[in-house]
Amino acid sequence: MKTSLSAFQDAFAAALQSDEPDTSADWLRALAEQPGFAVYRNTAFKGCVDALRANFPTVERLVGADWMTAAAAAYARHTPPSCPQLIDYGDGFADFLQRFGPAQALPYLAEVARLDRLWLEVFTAAEQPRLMPRALRAVTPQQLAGLHLQPCVAARWHWSGLPAFTLWRCNRDGAELPEPSIWQGEGTLICRWGGAVRWQALSHGGCAFLDACAQGLRLDAASVVALEAEPALDFNELLVALFAAGVFKGDRHD
């Protein structure tokens, strides 16, 4: 009986990911008995673990190499890569850490992992032109209110109920944590512009505003959402900061 290429690939991948592969098929049993198969399986597994360590460097700085290697191994055993580019591996790692027993004493770890993941998404995002303030000089207030500001693909933001940005930034930069530590929610904005990935704090209202923009709301409606989330928000100051960060997608002539 012939085995189709897709069936062969699926069975081979499943055998690589299992400590006790299904060897009911003669061809797979013969393959699994080859000494080189175990070497290849261990190499593939180690590649996944090494990729997670590289993709979540701030998490590793917080917990150490041994802890991170063990957590990455636990994740890789049950979550194989879905594409050959391992720089994309680990999109569910933050959720895994939230459920991972040894991480329960570190409630901030999953949030830090989310920021590592967002940094990676920003780093690998496509280039796009940015909307510059000069493009809005001739726009009337009525037209401005009706604008749809679209975040570019190289911008990510996240609001956390924990001080995730401070923990992430200080460990990413190798800086000392501020004293005294203030345990409160924080927002993060990560954006790549001009070839450089930069990050900064973002208020609750700022995160809500970008959420609304990403959903396609007009500027006037998105500003209402932002002010509902943060009544004391200085909306003009927020817009200046977002334009300065290059958050919004523009036309090529902007």
Ordered per-residue pLDDT tens for the chain, 254 residues:
455 545 545 545 555 555 555 555 555 555 555 555 554 455 677 899 999 999 999 999 999 999 999 999 999 988 888 887 889 999 999 999 999 999 999 999 999 999 999 999 999 999 999 999 998 888 898 998 999 999 999 999 999 999 999 999 999 988 888 887 788 999 999 999 999 999 999 999 999 999 999 999 999 999 999 999 999 999 999 999 999 999 999 986 44
The two tokens of residue 205 are: 């209202």
Query: CB of 229 within 8 A of CB of 208?
Result: yes
Half-sphere exposure of 60 (CA within 13 A, CB side): 15
Question: Each residue of 120-152: b (16+ CB within 10 Å) or e?
Answer: bbbeebeebebbeeeeeeeeeeeeeeebebbbb
Nearest alpha carbon to residue 112 among 155, 172, 70: 172
Nearest-angstrom CA–CA distance, 41 and 16: 5
Q: Which residue type is seen at 17?
A: Q
CA 89, 91, 96, 98: dihedral to nearest 10 degrees?
Answer: 140
The two tokens of residue 158 are: 């996240």
Global pTM?
0.84
